[in-house]
């Protein structure tokens, strides 16, 4: 179940520390897409909260990790989340802390700072409806040993993917897609990051439609 990822309390107290943050608060930057189009650094999670008020998050993995130190065995919570607005932006984050809530907040913050724009479309030759329900073309992503191929699918196909990839695709706003996966997909964080990497690649390539719009 998706929940709101916007920290309204922190946003109300927000005093920007970066030039981009100040430009957002002053209204000189009005969209997250503008930040990516201008290749500006995204260093404050509050920027994402401010520009994407409908941002949601979903936890995809949580557990305990143990580490041996000079003082003995140290146990911490490890949480992996996906954030997205279900309309073209998605991120994946990892957080570790002694307390679960702190680890969750760290993961959400990390996901916001790793957010990426996603170009959507109807790249399926079987559909050609022109609506942004799928990916515009086949993309490949990789993280660790995991590799994923995301292919355009006709409207109504749904998300033919593993559960972790489904969450990332859904929060990105993609409703139909076929996927192929290779490697150790049981590692949730790498599976999610590979899917994010593939979606990031939708934004890196210029299509004929982009030329016409430009």
What SS3 class is residue 83? Answer: strand
The answer to whether residue 205 scores a pLDDT higher than 90 is: no
Residue 97: beta bridge partners?
Answer: 77
Q: What is the pLDDT of residue 60?
A: 96
The model's confidence at residue 214, banded by pLDDT at 50, 70 and 90, is: very low
More reliable by pLDDT, 204 or 151: 151
What is the model's pLDDT at position 211? 39
**Which residues on neighbouring strands pair with residue 180, listed in sequence order?**
149
Average pLDDT over the chain, rounded to whole?
A: 90
The mean pLDDT value for 52-65 works out to: 93
pLDDT for residue 84 is more than 90: yes
Residue 106 pLDDT > 80, yes or no? yes
Mean pLDDT value of segment 167-177: 97
Confidence of residue 35 (pLDDT cuts 50, 70, 90): very high
Is it the case that residue 109 has pLDDT exceeding 50?
yes
Confidence of residue 7 (pLDDT cuts 50, 70, 90): confident
Q: How confident is the model at residue 174 (pLDDT cuts 50, 70, 90)?
A: very high
Burial call 92-108: b when 16+ CB within 10 Å, e when fewer: bbbbebeeeeebbbbbb
Of the pLDDT bands very low, low, confident and very high (cuts 50, 70, 90), residue 68 is: confident
- Among 17-26, 45-54, 124-133, 142-151, where is mean pLDDT lowest? 124-133
**3-class DSSP state of 187:** coil
Per-residue pLDDT, averaged over 77-85, amounts to: 96
Kindly list the structural domains of the chain, giving each domain's residue range(s) and its CATH number in brackets, ordered by start: 3-117 (3.30.160.20), 139-205 (3.30.230.10)
Q: Is the pLDDT of residue 180 over 90?
A: yes
- Higher-pLDDT residue of 70, 91: 91
Q: Residue 209 has what pLDDT?
A: 46
Residue 206 has a pLDDT of 56
Of 117, 134, 138, 116, residue with least CA distance to 174 = 134
């Amino acid at each position: 179940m998706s929940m709101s990822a916007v920290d309204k309390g922190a946003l109300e107290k927000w005093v920007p520390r970066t030039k981009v943050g100040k430009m957002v608060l002053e209204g000189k930057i009005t969209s997250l897409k503008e930040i990516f189009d201008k290749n500006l650094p995204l260093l404050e999670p509050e920027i994402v909260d401010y520009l994407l008020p409908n941002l949601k998050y979903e936890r995809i993995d949580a557990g305990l990790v143990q580490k041996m130190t000079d003082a003995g065995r140290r146990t911490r919570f490890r949480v992996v989340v996906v954030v997205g607005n279900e309309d073209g932006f998605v991120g994946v984050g990892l957080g570790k802390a002694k307390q679960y809530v702190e680890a969750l907040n760290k993961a959400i913050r990390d996901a916001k700072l790793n957010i990426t724009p996603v170009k959507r479309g109807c790249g399926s030759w079987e559909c050609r409806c022109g609506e942004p329900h799928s990916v515009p073309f086949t993309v490949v992503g990789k993280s660790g040993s995991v590799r994923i191929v995301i292919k355009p699918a006709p409207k109504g196909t749904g998300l033919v993917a593993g559960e972790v990839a489904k969450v990332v695709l859904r929060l990105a706003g993609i409703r139909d897609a076929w996927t192929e996966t290779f490697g150790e997909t049981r590692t949730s964080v790498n599976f999610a990051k590979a899917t994010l990497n593939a979606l990031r690649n939708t934004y890196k390539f210029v299509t004929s439609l982009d030329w016409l719009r430009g």
